[in-house]
Chains A and B, each alone.
Chain A
């Protein structure tokens, strides 16, 4: 195979996103020289519009960790964290991040990432986030921490007292620290204006994701979906660049749908859609391309996924509200996927299986992510019971390559696809 053939096929939206990210990381590498202040924070429950409204630059340690995984750097970083006492059992994102820091904090573009001026602990849907930033607070002594505690949707609803609790924290804990670090006063009008852009991006993202209801689907909502959510889940929500990206993406998806084309894979367009799947759980990043290839080689496409909702469940109707910016940030945080209770998660997946006409439901269970993984076997049973589709279960890890067993996963998936094939034949005969 020639070098040109080996390179992934890229659409214009992909190039656009690549440029956005390159610009972002260049800006980060020059932050100190440019006098820009830097905020470390998380993807689920991120407060990007608020951060940007103070002209602060956000850094997302999870994104750094997954990028390290994709660049085959994570194994060494994890080993270094384990050498200083972190257990083999704990979250590998945390260990990868700490290992990266121990090795000079070199970011995805090969440039050094700036140290934080503020640690914004947006504690949404993952208990480990709190432990992670407690550790970072010790590793960056003197850097202020702003804690935003997001209540869990224990009853499957968001109550007014929960919203009040979060808004009070935003007003009295988060915003004052951002003012202190940035030297700027909070500007509600600026935040509100950004949210108008957020809504436009959110509308477009939902259209893109819901295009997978078509048979055949013009997109893969997991392997390609993780790219689609990039700008809106990270540093760009609320910006005009994000709106431009999602408009471009939506245009491309519409064109593909009109032409009856399947999803774009790294080796070109998927020619035949054989299996439509709903996927639960994050992907493995260390062997992402190999993992994806197992699917598209078998004609399997992911039509809906829960991972693409960790940074917001826009497809169930939530939108940022420019008329109530702080309240809507609170509701946004509480609506992220891992902040939903288990029955809500099951309901959501059941709807996906039905609305997206899925042939099966598959879980990629992550060894070091309790937030996702604890309870997944019950989710699997419930989905099988409610929908009747065959369910599958594979195991890997986020960024620890020791827990990605290619042969094992391939064997399991091939057996699973055979089962789906058989079922299709039986259903066709009935």
Chain B
């Protein structure tokens, strides 16, 4: 097994380790370390890192865990992600986590934050409210308070209050992390056959469950290998952007089906939180929290979770597709996901106006049948290759 294959095997295992073994091992090494689980989409992991913590992404149980108790907590018309998360909370998957953060992205995740308060998982459970006002002295002030609450929560657990230097150092590490991830996407834009979308997914998702230092090291190796070495062979595939899967994650079989149907996925929003801030956060300031606030207000990517009047996400999606030289867009949203599904019609109109072909389908994180999706994606690919 060559080095890239070793890394890929490790990342696949880590990405879907629903017991978060590596993260728990890291915590066990020192008494002042804390583990904070956070739900999709974005969370400023830097602040937890600076306070001797590890923020671990809890992206649902996918198709890797049988849901029994979770179904007793959610009606059939609620999306799948929260029932997997509550199942993990009621089982032993999330033992040793000190706290949980529920970013403000929808009503289901919001109400799940209250359910965790009732089940008593962790020492704290925090709904993390993002401002929908993007002026620094209004939304910015509010967001700073939200970040300070997290720091207080962590301090209650381990007594650590990070200083300026620690925060700047953490910001620098996550800047490097995002740069490396973007570099992988850029290389894949030129040479999508060198690393498949599934492999890319594994690499990025693994980074949500290990330290940023370790992840950066793996990413550097991957970049170096795929930048300098040919791997795989170019295929007569179309190039697509997949959008709408930012929270509940599609099963790997779905991503694989799209690829096998003749589509190179040149951009996606699967692991959007890891790529949320566009560009670097200033890591040289006297007020690092303000730097994170400013980055959120001014450098956030587009998402169904963010109020977009004045900067419509449909136009930004079209811009992304053009930047990635995509032939088409696949709208792939989780069933019952109000944010993604309510955005879809207007985003499709923008695609139509821009002359970008598109298709759409819905999934559950534990969808097991991909034949229809593969046929749909295959027909989409063929139609573009033959007639576009």
Listed in ascending order, the chain A residues whose CB lies under 8 Å from chain B are 84-87, 89-91, 94, 121, 123, 126-128, 130-135, 137-138, 145, 147, 149, 151-152, 154, 159, 161-162, 164-165, 168-169, 172-173, 341-343, 345-346, 365, 367-368, 370-371, 373-378, 382, 395
Contacts and interface: CB of A to CB of B under 8 A. Distances in A.
Given A131-B339, A165-B141, A341-B117, 14 more contacts: A85-B345, A87-B344, A90-B338, A127-B107, A131-B342, A152-B104, A152-B110, A342-B111, A342-B117, A373-B77, A374-B108, A374-B110, A374-B112, A378-B115
B107 A370 contact: yes
Contacts of B132: 123, 130, 147, 149
A119 to B, nearest CB: 9
B140 to A, nearest CB: 10
A368 B337 CA distance: 10
B118 A342 contact: yes
Nearest to B148: A161
Interface stretch (B177-185, B304-312, B365-373): B304-312
| Best-surrounded residue of B74, B105, B345, B349 (most CB of chain A within 10 A) | B345
Interface residues of B, number: 53
Contacts of B336: 89, 370
A341 B127 contact: yes
B342 A374 contact: no
| Best-surrounded residue of A164, A165, A367 (most CB of chain B within 10 A) | A165
Contacts of B335: 89
Contacts of A85: 344-345, 348
B117 A343 contact: yes
A134 to B, nearest CB: 6
B107 A134 contact: no
A304 B117 CA distance: 25
Interface in B94-131: 104-108, 110-115, 117-118, 126-127, 129, 131
A376 B118 CA distance: 13
B75 A376 contact: yes
Contacts of A367: 75, 77
B107 A342 contact: no
A426 to B, nearest CB: 26
Contacts of A138: 312, 346, 349
B359 interface: no
Contacts of B117: 341-343
A375 B114 contact: yes
B84 to A, nearest CB: 14
A314 to B, nearest CB: 22
A182 to B, nearest CB: 20
B309 A147 contact: yes
Contacts of B362: 87, 89
A377 B342 contact: no
30 contacts: A85-B348, A87-B333, A87-B344, A87-B362, A89-B335, A90-B342, A123-B132, A126-B107, A127-B338, A130-B132, A131-B338, A131-B339, A131-B342, A134-B308, A147-B133, A149-B133, A151-B142, A152-B104, A161-B141, A165-B142, A173-B138, A341-B113, A341-B117, A342-B111, A342-B113, A342-B118, A370-B108, A374-B111, A375-B112, A377-B75
Given A134-B308, A365-B75, A370 B106 contact: yes
B156 interface: no
Contacts of A165: 131, 133, 138-139, 141-142
B114 A341 contact: yes
Contacts of A130: 132, 307
B252 interface: no
Contacts of B115: 342, 375, 378
B111 A375 contact: yes
Nearest to B108: A374
B195 to A, nearest CB: 32
B383 interface: no
A35 B17 CA distance: 63
A391 B37 CA distance: 33
| Best-surrounded residue of B115, B338, B343 (most CB of chain A within 10 A) | B338
Interface in B55-84: 72-75, 77-78, 82
Contacts of B145: 159, 161
Contacts of A87: 333, 341, 344, 362
B217 interface: no
Nearest to A89: B336
Contacts of A151: 129, 142
Top 9 closest pairs, chain A to chain B, by CB = A342-B114, A85-B345, A154-B127, A375-B111, A131-B342, A149-B132, A370-B107, A165-B142, A87-B341
B116 to A, nearest CB: 9
Contacts of B341: 86-87, 89-90
A135 B118 contact: no
Given A161-B141, A342-B115, A128 B127 contact: no
A365 B348 CA distance: 31
B137 interface: yes
B287 interface: no
Contacts of A123: 132, 307
B74 to A, nearest CB: 7
B21 interface: no
Contacts of B135: 172
Contacts of A395: 75
Nearest to A363: B75
Interface string B324-336: 0000000001011
Contacts of B337: 89
B114 A147 contact: no
Given A134-B308, A149-B131, A164 B141 contact: yes
Contact of B127 (A152, A346, A378): A152
Contacts of B111: 342, 370-371, 374-375
A375 B73 CA distance: 7
